[in-house]
Every structure is written in structure tokens, then in C-alpha cells.
Amino acid sequence: MKVAIPTIGTRVDEHFGHARTFTILTLDDSGRIVENETFLPPSGCGCKSTVGVTMQAKGVAVMLVGNIGQGAINKMAEHGIKVIRGCEGEILDVLKSWTDGDIEDKNILCNHEGCTH
């Protein structure tokens, strides 16, 4: 399984649509990381970019995010990617919490000042 996380350094980027990098972690059947890839998203913010197409082509099934707008959630769903919102902290800690079943979607939408989508 492949899990994508919008990242800034080794932490989850607070806002999906403004992420400068994404980390894709490939997990084996026991939840161990077997591959780690970082890619730069295409230009455009969130739902206006083609990041969903790129993630789908890379085989991403789940995306762990902090904040994200509904338009971007819809785009990810169009590409078969399940979005888990409300994640924060170090990438590896978030991933472990998710694989341990300690993280569930928090059903929150982007509330950043000036965000229109």
C-alpha cells in the first residue's frame, strides 16, 4: 500500500493545497516502510492542480493530511485516494499512529484565512 503525506521537512504540512513536497511511503503487508519517495507537486493550489492524477499514477491509496478543502477532497476521491484529515506532527509518527489504528478522519475542512476552496 502507498500512503501520501503533504510534507514540510519531516513534518506533515499544515495545508494540503500549499504543500511544496509530498512524501509517498510504500508499506508492506505488516505496515513496514519498504520505499520512501518525495515528489514536488504540479503547480496550482489543491483542487486546481493535477496532484491527484500524479498520486493515482504512483499508486497512492491513502493520503494523511492536516487541513484540506472540499474541492481537493473531491479530486482525490475521483482518483481513488482516501483522505484522512486532521493529521499533524512528524511524518513517521503520524504514519505509525495511522497503521496502529489510532488516527481516524477528523471530518474537518480547511479554515485558513483567504482560502476559497
Q: Which domains occur in the chain, in start order?
A: 2-99 (3.30.420.130)
Which whole number is the average pLDDT over 66-74?
87
pLDDT tens digits, one per residue of 14-45: 888 888 899 999 999 998 999 999 988 776 55
Rounded (10°) CA dihedral 16, 22, 26, 30: -50
List b or e across 79-106, with b for residues whose CB sees 16 or more CB atoms inside 10 angstroms: eebebbbbbeeebeebbeebbeeebeee
CB 85 within 8 A of CB 62: no
C-alpha cell at 22: 509530498
Instruction: Tell me the pLDDT band of 58, cut-offs 50, 70 and 90.
Output: very high
- Interval 76-96: pLDDT, tens: 999 999 999 999 999 999 999
Pairing of strands 2-8, 60-64: parallel
